[in-house]
């Protein structure tokens, strides 16, 4: 049986259309015009117990709206989700006992008080028995290193510490499902690493089902068995990260440092058609291409034949590139 079942989930928002400026604001005050904006359209998927699902998409694709419906914050316009055998909107108070939620951009910690106070209040809110609470705190201390700052007021914590503290707060009651909305946003590499490791450990020890939204390919590659991608509120991909890369081509990026910035004018990749594109910033030229259609040596050979180059570096594409690529492809198919 699936831990999470989502069926034809749809969310429309009504937006007021405003003409720009103060006059426009007055006009819309007197005679408002509305338009319906479909943030999420007909999403259906299932997540088995113990899986970590990477939920990805560009900004504004409908990720947060979906997460907010799954966590019971928003009411769907139509369709439903059933999680842990409960419909969040119908049985919200009961449902949230078994889930944990972290919104990377917001905190649920008590801003002015030492971190420890937040945990003791959450213990009361979730009715966690003393014995479980101490055991749980020991475990969370171990995986997230909270002891260094547990007596500091939350407002004095660094972003990385705050995020670790927030993740611990969402896990205090040992939830069956954990929603992480951009848990690594704005963090440095070592903190990201610690958080990824913690998520992995929690998933393994407790068989916690996790939905993770992120813009970081590293998070996805290290943690997720499966990737679900949406755009404009609709599903565009559902499968493993390997399938994602195979299906949408290996995007590669080569950065050339030129001897003279003006030489860039002489660059001409037209023989490769639409499989390649480049951008220039002073002496640095970035060339992005689909390595299933154009080979790396070909690109380097052609570039060297056209301009003088000081340095070359070849990179793997990040998730953003793949995502952008998919969207362009989708858009092209629609036209």
Partner 1 sequence: MRRVLHLEKIFISQYLKQTMEYKADFIVGVLGVLLNQVLNLIFLQVIFSQVPKLAGWSLQQIVFIYGFALIPKGLDHLFFDNLWIVGQKLVRKGEFDKYLTRPINPLFHVLVETFQVDAFGELLVGVILLVMSSATVHWTLLKVILFIVSIPFATAIYTALKIGTSAAAFWMKKSNTITYLFYMFNDFAKYPVSIFNHLIRWIISFIIPFAFTAFYPASYFLTGKNVLFNLGGLVVISIVFLFIAIKIWNKGISSYESAGS
Contact residues for partner 1, defined by CB under 8 A: 13, 60, 64, 68, 71-75, 89, 92-94, 96-97, 99, 101, 103, 105-106, 108, 110, 112-113, 117, 121, 124-127, 153, 181
> CB neighbours of 97 closer than 8 A, spacing ≥ 6?
126, 173
Please identify, using beta-carbon distances, which residue of 93 and 268 lies nearer to partner 1.
93
Nearest-approach distance from CB 321 to partner 1, in angstroms? 24
Rounded Cα distance, 196 and 193, in Å = 5
Please identify, using beta-carbon distances, which residue of 91 and 188 lies nearer to partner 1.
91
Residue 97 is classified by DSSP as: G
Nearest-approach distance from CB 157 to partner 1, in angstroms? 15
With H, G, I as helix, E, B as strand and everything else as coil, classify residue 156. Answer: helix
Nearest-approach distance from CB 196 to partner 1, in angstroms? 21
Please identify, using beta-carbon distances, which residue of 98 and 255 lies nearer to partner 1.
98
Please identify, using beta-carbon distances, which residue of 97 and 286 lies nearer to partner 1.
97
Nearest-approach distance from CB 253 to partner 1, in angstroms? 29
Q: Is 202 exposed, middle or buried (0-12, 13-18, 19+ CB in 10 A)?
A: buried
Please identify, using beta-carbon distances, which residue of 122 and 285 lies nearer to partner 1.
122
Are 43 and 79 in contact, with CB atoms under 8 Å apart?
yes
Nearest-approach distance from CB 124 to partner 1, in angstroms? 5
**Rounded to 10 degrees, what is the CA torsion of 181, 186, 187, 193?**
50
Residue 220 gets the label, from left (phi > 0), alpha (psi -120 to 50) or beta, of: alpha
List the one residue out of 121, 104, 225, 94 whose CA is nearest residue 167.
104
Please identify, using beta-carbon distances, which residue of 75 and 204 lies nearer to partner 1.
75
Residue 232 is classified by DSSP as: T
Please identify, using beta-carbon distances, which residue of 101 and 150 lies nearer to partner 1.
101
Nearest-approach distance from CB 148 to partner 1, in angstroms? 21
- Helical (H) or strand (E) element with 238: strand 234-239
With H, G, I as helix, E, B as strand and everything else as coil, classify residue 193. Answer: helix
Nearest-approach distance from CB 184 to partner 1, in angstroms? 15
């Amino acid at each position: 049986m699936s831990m999470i079942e989502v069926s034809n989930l749809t969310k429309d928002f009504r937006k007021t259309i405003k003409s720009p400026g103060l006059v426009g604001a007055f006009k819309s005050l007197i005679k408002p015009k509305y338009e319906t904006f479909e943030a999420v359209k007909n999403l259906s998927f299932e997540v088995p117990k113990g899986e970590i699902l990477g939920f990805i998409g560009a900004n504004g694709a409908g990720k947060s709206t979906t997460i907010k419906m799954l966590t019971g914050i928003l009411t769907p316009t139509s369709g439903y989700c059933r999680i842990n055998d409960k419909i969040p909107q119908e049985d919200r108070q009961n449902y949230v006992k078994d889930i944990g939620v972290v919104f990377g951009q917001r905190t649920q910690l008590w801003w002015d008080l030492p971190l420890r106070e937040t945990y003791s209040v959450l213990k009361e809110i979730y009715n966690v028995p003393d014995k479980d609470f101490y055991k749980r705190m020991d475990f969370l201390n171990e995986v997230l290193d909270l002891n260094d700052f547990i007596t500091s007021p939350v407002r004095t914590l660094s972003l990385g510490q705050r995020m670790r503290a927030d993740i611990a707060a969402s896990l205090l009651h040992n939830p069956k499902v954990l929603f992480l909305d951009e848990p690594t946003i704005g963090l440095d590499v070592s903190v990201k690493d610690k958080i990824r490791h913690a998520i992995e450990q929690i998933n393994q020890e407790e068989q916690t089902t996790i939905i993770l939204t992120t813009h970081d390919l590293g998070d996805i590659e290290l943690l997720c068995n499966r990737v679900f991608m949406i755009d404009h509120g609709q599903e565009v991909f559902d499968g493993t990260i390997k399938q994602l890369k195979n299906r949408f081509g290996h995007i590669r990026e080569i950065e050339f440092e030129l001897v003279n910035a003006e030489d860039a004018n002489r660059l001409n990749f037209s023989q490769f058609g639409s499989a390649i594109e480049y951008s220039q910033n002073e002496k640095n030229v970035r060339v992005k291409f689909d390595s299933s259609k154009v080979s790396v040596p070909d690109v380097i050979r052609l570039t060297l034949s056209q301009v003088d180059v000081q340095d070359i570096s070849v990179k793997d594409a990040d998730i953003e590139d793949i995502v952008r690529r998919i969207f362009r492809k989708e858009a092209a198919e629609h036209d």
